[in-house]
Structure 1
């Protein structure tokens, strides 16, 4: 993500806890008394600046809570969402996103100045400012409790860890290999290198495999990943085959680390793994990565087919209504609100994309689509209730589809002690 700051923003020295905040000009605002404003507009109140963006899931999930807190403490506290996103996109987001529909908070859009004073890469980021405009906390939003807000409002001491992002994009995203000593000078001599470490907070948790075509070096990276994610990446070997992670691994081992399907995984069960070797394709790294993982975790792993109970959507007879565009006047789209709205709607979307999105939406069971022609498109609109398949079938029959619980052979990873 690149954000271009104005020349004035580039000269700004970032602030931290204990610093005095100037009267920042808020050039574009929504739901304020004017289309622009300043921090001094909220004089006499404590302020929480909530930095967010539209695609940030935890940011959006927190909005109803922040709105509730704003209404409760509105006389003495101003919670101020701030985003770099365009005004038009933000207005459409607040209008159409079901989680925030009806919420109308004072907020800042198309921001550059606030982000210059309080740089961030990971979001949400909250800046807590007391009535004297002193920064008393910079957090990730997990400490926004009533008790802490009361301390902020009353000017009491707040002891929270300071959120500090690694702003060097090369370090954070591991754009350079972890092994960098004289790398450019010696990379053509590299035959094999692998690296495994504990969780590293300065590295973004992401994975990739890529080929340096000039040096003929394959590089595989998995930063801050759990046992499940590491082994799944290794055995998948760059396959796009849709996999259901909660049923992907069967453990028969005594390794002490969490699998990684838990809602909250302790960082002691997360690892950074990097592999580099001389090669011409990213296919084939599995044998090296699996060997490394097995060796360290004292595991004997293998992949096999097992009968796994699945939810399967498939044709009901020879009809092809599911191939007919459901809403001709609308562009191709899909929505899977299985937990909140209990509805799945697909309009003229490639089947393989629907399968990839749908398979992970139910925690305890894979949801599969078995229709001929993986490159074709599919349409359906169904009330989602897996405890009432008869109800779902009443909706799906209109599209020449049916849904049922069946067993299918699925690839699973078995972990055993050596």
Structure 2
């Protein structure tokens, strides 16, 4: 009987311990974070790890105390975001007693500090930076950056806008409670890997200009593109959102190698380049792409080798719009040629197992195509042709690829000196090559 009581007590004890453990475990389960929109009052939040801030931490309520707060959700890789920082700093100075502008990024402190070291706008920024964010991005879901959230002194969201809406004029209106802005409402269900406008992906597709698909700028989509291939590497679909016609033609002309595109291989015939090229400046660029941007998709029922797909894309673009026409012509172009100057193959194939790396500021074990890509990336440089046939088999130690900012195009003699160590030379010449001729379409 005594042993039975002990067993009963142990059973009851284990029951209560299990129940307690379950309650403790269930208490750890967090409720889903809700999102907020215009008119909502947001809760307070402790902001720790602030950069450019006297204490490094404060509460959200303390930061906006008696002031208008603008959360500038950004990233250091976002060119329009970083380009806007000098203007945001000026606005903060102009409204210093009535306004707080807080740039917010999901990126870690290490990422942001590294970016500050190589970018002049980030380096000159005096605004506090909130890094490592995991809350605001859930409170205010978005796809495109920058994403601006306007919060009044009572914690009420009064606007959610595009970056270019942050100006002295709109801030003055917000301060007198007279601000009315279109709500930036990104389509969070959009999937760039699926067909555009089919089954509601990116919209209902009512604005088709052609079935292949060419549609006007869509303010709910950011600028993205994707190429889709079958298992054999053949291409069957290309999708781009909010791109200019010149960007689309450039991709088709270069057969997908647009990073190696060179403006000297483009001829503008009876047309102003300003009509096709996005201007510098945040406001001007946004206004231009809104009028001149397109959402485009070419999807073929049968996959083609990439080269043939881009030929079909070029023809399709010429057919689908009435602004310009593009032809490919052969012309002699001034260029840089990389040639062998000795019969000896000095490629170091033993290095192929090693990785490229920086040593004392110099690039080591860099494949020849990567060296060419580096040189071709500078503006106003003539096309660079590799006539060596070595390709990736040549791994080079390159003094002129340095870990420094700003990056400058190396002196020609410095380039030639480097190439000559490998039995090569970097010489100027002329060669007949394909040129993209852009002309106004005649109706």
Asked if these proteins are the same fold (TM beyond 0.5), I'd say yes
Give the C-alpha shift of residue 258 in structure 1: 3.5
Counterpart CA distance in 1 for 2:94 and 2:345 is 54
**Equivalent residue for 1:366?**
382
Secondary structure of the structure 1 residue equivalent to 2:111: helix
SS of the residue corresponding to residue 361 of structure 1 reads coil
Q: Which moved more, 1:55-64 or 1:29-38?
A: 29-38
Pair 1:15 & 2:37 matched: yes
- Map 1:8-87; keep pairs closer than 5 Å: 10-16=32-38, 18-32=39-53, 34-42=55-63, 43-87=65-109
Q: Residue 272 of structure 1: which of 295, 318, 333 is its match? A: 295
Q: How many residues in Structure 1 have an aligned counterpart in Structure 2?
A: 377
- Secondary structure (helix, strand or coil) at the match of 2:248 reads helix
Q: TM-score, normalised by structure 1?
A: 0.72
Out of 210, 226, 240, which is 1:222 matched to? 240
Asked whether the equivalents of residues 117 and 123 of structure 2 are also in contact (C-alpha less than 8 Å), the reply is yes
Which residue number in structure 2 is paired with residue 308 of structure 1?
333
* Match in the other structure for 1:190: none
Task: Work out the CA distance in 1 between the residues paired with 2:259 and 2:184.
Answer: 37
Instruction: State the 1:301 CA deviation.
Output: 4.2
Q: Deviations over 1:334-367 (max 9, x none)?
A: x9xxxxxxxxx866533323433543431x4535
- Whether contact under 8 Å (1:24, 1:39) holds in the other structure is yes
Match of 1:210 in 2: 228
Give the SS at the match of 2:81: helix
Q: Equivalent residue of 1:237, what SS?
A: coil
Q: Residues 99, 374 of structure 1: CA spacing in aligned structure 2 closer, same or farther, 3 A cutoff?
A: farther
With over 3 angstroms needed to count, the CA separation of the structure-2 counterparts of 1:349 and 1:148, relative to structure 1, is farther
Query: By percentage of residues, which structure has more helix?
Result: 2
Contact 2:36/2:42, CA 8 A, preserved across alignment: no
Q: Structure 2: give runs of 5+ residues left out of the alignment.
A: 1-27, 201-210, 403-408
CA-CA distance at 1:230 after TM superposition: 2.5
Q: 1:65 to 1:14 in 2, by over 3 A?
A: same
Corresponding residue number in structure 2 for 1:331: 357
2:194 to 171, 175, 181: 175
Instruction: Pick which of 76-85 and 27-36 moved more.
Output: 27-36
Matched, 1:133 2:155: yes
**Alignment-derived partner of residue 116 in structure 1:** 138
User: Per the alignment, do residues 224 and 253 of structure 1 end up closer, same or farther by CA in structure 2, a change over 3 Å counting?
Assistant: farther
- C-alpha RMSD of the superposition: 4.4
Which residue number corresponds to residue 233 of structure 1? 251
Find the partner of 1:350 among 348, 367, 372: 367
**Rg (Cα) greater in structure:** 2
> Structure 1 pair 104/257, CA: closer, same or farther in 2 (3 Å)?
closer
SS in 1 for 2:320: helix
2:25 alignment partner in structure 1: none
